[in-house]
Amino acid sequence: MDSKSPLPLDAAARTLLGALAHLSRERRDVKEALQSLHSWLGRQLDGATEDSGALREKVVQPGDGRRVITQESETPTVELTLVQRRARWKAAALRFAVDRRAADDPADAALARIEEGLRKQRTELPDCFPWMLDGPMPLPDDAPVHRAAEVYEALARTAEVANNLDEAGFLDPPPPELLYMLAEAQSMLLVAVRALGLRGDSDQRDLFAWLKEQTTRHRIYVDRHMRLDDPADPTLCSQLLERLEERAETLMERGKERKARAELLSKLRYHVRRGLDGGLLDADRESILQGLDRWRKEGLPHEDRELVEILAPLASEAKKDTALQQALALHLDQAEAPRQPLEEVRHLLEGQNILCVTSSGDARVRQEVARDLVTGDVRWVELADGSGMEDIASTLETYEAAIVLLGVRLDGDAYNAFKDDCLEKGTLFVRLPDGFAPEHVARQVIRQVGWRLRQRHEEGTQDASADSDAANTTAASAEVPASSKKG
Q: How far apart are CA 251 and CA 132, in angstroms?
A: 35
pTM equals 0.57
List the beta bridge partners of residue 404: 355, 429
Cα 312 from Cα 273, distance rounded (Å): 11
φ/ψ (deg, to 5) at 428? -75, 155
Q: Which residues contact 224 (CB under 8 A, 6 or more apart)?
A: 180, 183, 184, 230, 232
Which sequence spans correspond to the domains of the chain?
12-56, 80-232, 259-332, 341-455
First-to-last C-alpha distance (Å) of the chain: 123
Q: Order of strands across the sheet with 354-358?
A: 378-382, 354-358, 403-406, 428-431
Q: What is the pLDDT of residue 467?
A: 56
Cis peptide before 173 (omega within 30 of 0): yes
Q: Which pLDDT does position 480 carry in this prediction? A: 41
Residues 6+ apart with CB under 8 A from 197: 137, 140
Considering the domain 341-455 in this protein, what is its CATH number? 3.40.50.2300
Q: What letter represents residue 230's amino acid?
A: D
3-class secondary structure per residue, the chain: CCCCCCCCHHHHHHHHHHHHHHHHCCCHHHHHHHHHHHHHHHHHCCCCCCCCCCCCCEEECCCCCCCEEECCCCCCCCCHHHHHHHHHHHHHHHHHHHHHHHCCCCCCHHHHHHHHHHHHHHCCCCCCCCHHHHCCCCCCCHHHHHHHHHHHHHHHHHHHHHHHHHHCCCCCCCCHHHHHHHHHHHHHHHHHHHCCCCCCCHHHHHHHHHHHHHHHHHCCCCCCCCCCCCCCCHHHHHHHHHHHHHHHHHHHHHHHHHHHHHHHHHHHHHHHHHHHHHCCCHHHHHHHHHHHHHHHHCCCCCCCHHHHHHHHHHHHHHCCCHHHHHHHHHHHCCCCCCCCHHHHHHHHCCCCCEEEEECCCCHHHHHHHHHHCCCCCEEEEECCCCCCHHHHHHHHHHCCCCEEEECCCCCHHHHHHHHHHHHHHCCEEEECCCCCCHHHHHHHHHHHHHHHHHHHHHHHHHHHHHHHHHHHHHHHHHCCCHHHCCC
Strand 68-70 to 428-431 pairing: unpaired
CA pair distance 404, 426, nearest whole angstrom: 11
- Residue 233 has a pLDDT of 95
Q: What is the pLDDT of residue 463?
A: 57
Model pLDDT, residue 462: 57
Predicted confidence at residue 382, as pLDDT, reads 86
What b-and-e string marks burial along 205-242, b requiring 16 or more CB atoms within 10 Å of the CB?
bbbbebbeebbeeeebebbebbeeebebebeebeebbe
Q: Output the tens digit of pLDDT for each of the chain's 487 residues.
A: 444 455 565 566 666 776 776 676 677 777 777 766 766 665 554 444 443 333 333 322 333 333 433 333 344 578 999 999 999 999 999 999 999 998 888 778 899 999 999 999 999 999 898 989 887 778 899 999 999 999 999 999 999 999 999 999 898 889 989 999 999 999 999 999 999 989 889 999 999 999 999 988 887 878 889 988 899 999 999 999 999 999 999 999 888 888 888 899 999 999 888 877 777 788 888 999 999 999 988 888 888 878 888 888 888 777 778 888 888 888 887 655 556 788 888 888 888 899 998 887 778 888 888 888 888 889 998 886 555 677 788 888 888 888 999 988 887 778 878 888 887 788 899 988 888 888 889 888 888 888 778 877 777 655 555 555 555 554 444 444 444 333 3
